[in-house]
Amino acid sequence: MAIFQNQATLSYNGNIINSNVTTGEITEVLSATKTAVMNDYTPNDDITYVVSIVNSGDTPFTDVTISDNLGAYLFGTKTLVPLTYTENSLRYYTDGTLKSTPTVSVTETGMVISGITVPANGNAIVIYETTANRFAPLNADGSITNEAVITATGLATVLTASSTVSAENTAVLTISKSVNPAVITENGQLTYTFIIQNMGNTEASVTDNVIVTDTFNPVLNNLTVTFNDTPWIQDVNYTYALTTGLFETVAGQITVPPATFAQNSTTGEYIITPGVAVLTVTGNI
């Protein structure tokens, strides 16, 4: 609801007379919501947004514009934008019917969608994809609040609609394997090194039941196994089948610390230092 007031002035022969003040009320008929399809994100995650505009009035709005800040926030004197619009991803519907894509302009501080019509007693829905980029907060308490500002001729009050997504509290693991030496003589000794990295903001704990499985070919004899330089014991920390070369760690033995996140003081870009765990297996062929 918006209130408006008006007063007239009458002037004659150097006299000025003011009228009474009239007061009116504008009933708002346009409303908007913004929703993220997912509630959380990880680095480089795709996040889809839905902006829904409903017109409960008998007259269409034909020149609606949506200005989306793509989660922009202040970092010192800079404005950082943590979401990147996915080009050509936008879809626009009125009353459930797909329409031609409106004009999309991407700026340094967000994006502008123009040329939207919201029919009388109807609705318009705009759907588009974004990616969490290098400015997206990744700490356990990190989040992105994305706001859309909706304007149109005849609209008494600017509409705003926002949606907040949080950095997912999870471990994100990768594993790499190396062998040393790469060239070995018969009956020689070699070492396999498994490096497990965690790019997430949460530790991979014993309850995550991280397991490494490998079948050594050629089969290894006289195994020596360490995890983060601590000796492991067969059938306590791992199992090994000498006949097949099947090696498997016992669930709950591997833990990997979380990554650490720091923002570059100049650019605002997040720098990720992964948490690391190292498993080594040495034996004779």
Q: What is the CATH number of the domain that holds 266?
A: 2.60.40
Q: Which residue has the higher pLDDT, 17 or 126?
A: 126
Residue 11's Cβ-count burial label (10 Å; 0-12, 13-18, 19+) is: exposed
Domain for residue 14, yes or no? no
Nearest to 39 by CA among 139, 168, 134: 168
Mean pLDDT of all residues in 47-64: 96
Confidence of residue 14 (pLDDT cuts 50, 70, 90): confident
pLDDT score for 25? 54
Domain for residue 5, yes or no? no
Residue 274 to residue 226: CA distance in whole angstroms: 21
Domain for residue 7, yes or no? no
Number of domains in the chain: 2
User: Distances in Å between the alpha carbon of 108 and those of 137, 147, 193, 263?
Assistant: 18, 15, 45, 19
Residue 155 to residue 152: CA distance in whole angstroms: 5
Q: Is the pLDDT of residue 24 over 60?
A: no
Element (H, E) at 226: strand 221-227
Q: Is the pLDDT of residue 22 over 80?
A: no
Q: Give the pLDDT confidence of 160-217 residue by residue, as tens digits.
A: 999 999 999 999 999 999 999 989 888 899 999 999 999 999 999 999 999 999 999 9
55 and 123 together in one domain: yes
Residue 65 to residue 51: CA distance in whole angstroms: 12
Mean pLDDT of all residues in 5-22: 82
160 and 183 together in one domain: no
Residues shown for the chain? 285
154 and 203 together in one domain: no
Q: Quote the mean pLDDT of the chain.
A: 93
pTM to 2 decimal places? 0.79
Neighbours of 229 (CB within 10 A): 7
